[in-house]
Each structure stands twice: as structure tokens, then as C-alpha cells.
Amino acid sequence: MRIKNYLSILAISIVIILPACKQKESKDLGKEEVENYYSEKYRPQFHFSPEANWMNDPNGMVYYEGEYHLFYQYYPDSTVWGPMHWGHAISTDLVHWEHLPIALYPDSLGYIFSGSAVVDWNNASGFGTDENPPLIAIYTYHNPDIAKAGGTDVESQAIAYSLDKGRSWIKYDENPVIPNDGNRDFRDPNVIWNEDIQKWNLLLSAHDHVQIYSSDNLKEWQYESDFGIDAGGHGGVWECPDLFPLQVEGTDNTKWVLIVNINPGGPNGGSATQYFVGDFDGHKFIADSKKTSWIDYGRDNYAGVTWSDIPKEDGRRIFLGWMSNWDYANVVPTEKWRSAMTIPRKLNLQKANDGFVLASFPVDELKNIRTDEFEIPAQDISERVEINTRSVQLNRSEMDFTFQLNSNSLSGATEEFGLALSNNKGEIFEIKYSPETQTFYIDRTKAGLNSFSDKFASKSIANYKAGDNMEIRVFVDEASIEVFVDGGKLVMTEIVFPSEPYSTLEMFSTNGAIKLSSGKLWSLNSVWE
Ligand code: FRU
């Protein structure tokens, strides 16, 4: 027993002492170490999480030469937020990740806050060559000394470049490229190449609005306009914007989508991601509606933005969020690391009765980790039934159900129906829809540990008008549940900390029946094994 403990401590120290150690290299460790690798309680098995210590926002997401880069807000010295670095990982399939050394360290100008990265294909910056275009990272400097002294010019925008596929970075010696403009909150630059005007556009968040800039060379930036003082939610600070064109599904029409994260002020409390659909001419963004729409109604999808430079042949706009909430991120009950990212999601812009819906749906690559597939027979559900899940490991699983809401074969229509995941400790997580009140909700009030924060136990609610059928696709990992309704038109992402893994799946319908017309379950393989 003692030897075993000693070995696990040794294995953990290896992980902590060598945060730069590549995932692949861990395969060279002894059997015990491999078994311990990524096996801590609540460690996500198919979501990205850092090997050790604190992580928040995804940063610098760019695709280059077959690799998806994921940088992230990282504090390598503790499991709570601190002086920010950019951690780094790469993937060739968005599902399996390789950890790389820290990309950007804080310096005399400040901590390295959130930002983006692009491929400078024509070497407009002059940092590379035509044969070897540079990767450019655009980030915020947050100066802690000015902050402590009560100054307002705390944040400014800077760039760094890489000539070796993101492995090493050189900071520009004339940083900052956009000095502080008097706003205390002035951060999270997001750059895109704008084909229409043949220039770069940069968006940043400035407290209660976003600012738009343009540039020919990524070094000199021209202020263009701002958006948002009179639009969207204003229950908190605007952070981490993103702006991109997206073809409207089933048409040749393209609209621009503006993503703006906000904290607090989310629809169910704390941090959340809003979006606007409109037009953009490289100078000004004009929203079709000033109303806020939410990309996710769960509590744990924040600071999400999209990958840059995904090849045209692929054509996807892929989104990734930080799976936590500033309401409690620093105190969640994980020991060696804190936080994970959501699963990557493809964004689809769909025409709706009153405008557009930005649907987000798991990328197809996730199908490659499915195993143990089996079908649940179609059936009428009334009251509460336990579903035989055979060998499927519910705590690492995917489920796909279609319910028929207007079935003539049923005697009385359901008032409310749904799914429940529970364990032997009586902890239970519920997913429900009421056709009567047209509300969808998830309930984690009794789902597991929640005493670490009085803001954690919650029921998240969304108004949702279903059609004749409702598809509910669910991804369950050790400490998270992601729910995609009707192809991602409604999404709810939440973290949970069951004291033992969920092992029972039930379906229920109150005061009437509901027809389950199809159902499938899979176990999902760990991406770290
Ligand atoms: C969003 C955020 C960003 C900032 C970063 C600091 O979660 O507050 O606005 O750049 O985190 O870590």
C-alpha cells in the first residue's frame, strides 16, 4: 500500500515537475505511472484539461499545417488564478491532445491575458518569409503594478510571432501595438483576415462594448468603430469577442456573427456567451437585432471563441469554450488542476422565424472515440423507467434520443418528460422538457458535491419551442454534462461533481406519456490512454 502511494506521488510529481512533458512521452513511463496519468478523481477523459494547475480561457486557436493549436490562460504555480501565461497544446483531430511547453510568459509589461492567433500567409508583418509565413499571436498585456496603484491604463494589446509552427515565440520589440485608450477593461483582441477589404480586422472588448480596428500589417492598427453600448446584455463586463462570416445553412447567403462573452449577466447566472447576427463591411458591424441570444444556456461554457485559418475545403467554424464559470471556478473540488474545455463544436447558422439561430453541435471527430454502441428500443415512457444500459460506462458516454411529442398512439400527452442520471449515493442530475410551458431545463441541485460554493447548486432554464420531435444528444464525462437539443439549437453545458460515478439512467414522463422513437448509447474511450 505504502509503495503504491509512493509510486502515485512519484507519478504525480513527474506530471507536475514536467508540465512540458508531452502526452506521448508519458507512454514511456512505467505501468503504474501510466495508470495514474489522468486518472485523478473528476479528471475529464475526453475533454482537454491541463496536466496540472490553473486554466481558464482558450486562446490563440489557429490551424496550421495539419495541427489545431490550443493556447490557454494558464497559471503554472497554483490551482487558483494568478499571473497569466499562455499554456499550449496541439491536436490533429480536435479530440486527442499533446501538451507542449508554455508559449508565452509574463514580462515587464504585464501578465499575458487572452487573445487570438492567425497565420500571416503573405508575410504582411515581415516577421517571416514568403516560404515560411509567421504565426502571429495577438494578446493583452495586463499590468498588475498599474492595477495595484489604481491606474486605468492597465491593459494594452501586443503581438508575438513564431516561425517554427508555434513551438517558440518572439515578442515584438515595439509592443504594445494598441496602447490603452482610457478604458480600465480593454482586452482580449481577436484578429481575422477580412477577404472583402483585404485587411486584417481586430476586435477587442472595452468594458461595455467592443471596438473594431483594421490593419495592413498586424502592427499598425486603425480604430474603425464600436458596437454594443445600446445592444445585448449589460449585466457584466464584455470580454473575449469574435467576429466571422458564416453561410446561412441551405442558402448562398452569408451573414456575420459577433460573439461577445459577458461576466456576470448570463441567462442562468454568472459567465455566459452571447451572440449577434448582422452585417460587417470591415468598418462597422450592424446587428439585425439588438436583442441578446445565448450560445449556451448552461452555466459552464465561457470565453468561447473559434478557430482561425481552418482550410476552405473543410469550411467549418469550430468553437471551444472554457467549461467553468467565474462564480465558482477557483473553488471547484479538483485537486491537481482546475478546469477543462468544452468539447469542440461546429457552428451552424440557421434561419429561424424571427431571425437566425446559431446552433452549435459536437464535431464529427468525436464519433471516433465511440465504443459499445447499442440501441434502446422505441417505447412509450410513462412514470419512471430505468433503462438497461448494458456495458456502457455512463460516466464517459454519449447518448442520442429522439422523442415524438405529438404521438396519436398515446392516451394522454406528457406534462413534462426527461432523463435522469444517478448513482448509488442518491445523487441525481436531471434533463427535462415541458411541452406545456415550453421550457427546457437541467437540474444539478442534487447532482453531487456543491457545498464548495453557494452559487453552484442550480437549475438552469431556457425557453424553447419544440417541433413534433425533439432530439436530445448528451455527452457525459467524469465531471461534466453537455446537452444538445435539436442539432444544437439549444445547448446546455454544466459541470458536476458526483461523489461516485453516475451508474443509472432513467427516463420519466409525468401526468401522461411520451414516445421515445429512437435511442442510442455509446461508451466513449479516454483520449489520454
Ligand atoms: C475571461 C477573462 C479575460 C481575460 C482573462 C484573464 O475569462 O477575464 O477577459 O483576458 O480572463 O485570465
pLDDT, tens only, 361-371: 999 999 999 99
Which of 207, 239, 302 is the pocket-test mutation for ligand 1 (most atoms within 8 Å of CB)?
Answer: 239
Q: In terms of domains, do 218 and 295 share one?
A: yes
Q: Is 57 a known active-site residue?
A: yes
44 within domain boundaries? no
The CATH number assigned to the domain holding 150 equals 2.115.10.20
pLDDT band at 414 (very low <50, low <70, confident <90, very high): confident
Return d(Cα 267, Cα 279) in angstroms, integer.
25
Considering the chain, what is the average pLDDT of its residues? 93
Measured in degrees and rounded to the nearest 5, phi and psi for residue 96 equal -95, 130
- Ligand 1 and 206: CB distance under 6 A: no
In this prediction, residues 444-460 reach a mean pLDDT of 98
What's the average model confidence in pLDDT over 216-243? 98
Distance 394 CA to ligand 1 centre (A): 33
User: Which domain range does residue 123 map to?
Assistant: 3-28+54-362
> For the ranges 19-23, 191-195, 315-319, 429-433, which has the lowest average pLDDT?
19-23
For residue range 226-236, what is the model confidence (pLDDT) as tens digits?
999 999 999 99
Q: Which of 57, 242, 300, 486 is labelled catalytic? A: 57
Q: Could you give the CA distance from residue 229 to residue 227 in angstroms, rounded to a whole number?
A: 6
Q: 395 versus 24: which is more confidently predicted?
A: 395
Look at residue 407 and tell me if it is in a domain. Answer: yes
Q: Tell whether ligand 1 has an atom less than 6 A from the beta carbon of residue 339.
A: no
| Exposed / middle / buried, residue 30 (Cβ in 10 Å: 0-12, 13-18, 19+) | exposed
What's the DSSP call for residue 378?
Answer: P
- Do 19 and 122 reside in the same domain of the chain? yes
407 vs 190, more confident: 190
pLDDT greater than 70 at residue 32: no
47 lies in some domain: no
Residues 79 and 215 in one domain: yes
Cβ atoms of residues 193 and 118 within 8 Å:
yes
The rounded distance, in Å, linking the Cα atoms of 350 and 49 is: 31
Query: Does position 469 have pLDDT exceeding 80, yes or no?
Result: yes
CB 258 within 8 A of CB 190: no
Spatial separation of the C-alpha atoms in residues 483 and 461, rounded to whole Å: 13
412 pLDDT tier (thresholds 50, 70, 90): low
Q: Do 199 and 280 meet the contact criterion of CB atoms below 8 Å apart?
A: no
Write the residue with the smallest CA distance to atom 9 of ligand 1.
239
pLDDT at residue 15, as a whole number: 37
Q: Which atom of ligand 1 is nearest to the CA of 326?
A: 7
**Does ligand 1 have an atom closer than 6 angstroms to the CB of 513?**
no
Per residue in 143-172, is it b (16+ CB within 10 Å) or e — as a string? Answer: beebbeeeeeebbbbbbbbbbeebeebebb
Residue 325 in any domain: the answer is yes
- For residue 34, pLDDT over 90 is answered with no
| Cell representation of residue 268 | 442562468
Work out the average pLDDT over 503-525: 96
Per-residue pLDDT tens digits for 39-96: 899 999 999 999 999 999 999 999 999 999 999 999 999 999 999 999 999 999 999 9
Distance 260 CA to ligand 1 centre (A): 12
Which three-class secondary structure state does DSSP give residue 89? Answer: strand
Confidence of residue 383 (pLDDT cuts 50, 70, 90): very high
Q: What is the pLDDT of residue 529?
A: 80
> Are both 391 and 412 inside the same structural domain?
yes
* For range 258-263, the mean pLDDT: 98
Query: Which of 317, 334, 362 delimits the end of a domain?
Result: 362
pTM score, two decimals?
0.93
Domain count of the chain?
2
- Domain assignment present for 489: yes
240 lines ligand 1 (CB under 6 A): yes
Mean pLDDT for the stretch of residues 435-445 = 96
Is 113 close to ligand 1, i.e. is its CB under 6 Å away? yes
pLDDT for res 496:
98
Q: What is the mean pLDDT of residues 447-468?
A: 97
Among 84-98, 192-206, 236-250, 405-419, whose mean pLDDT is lowest?
A: 405-419
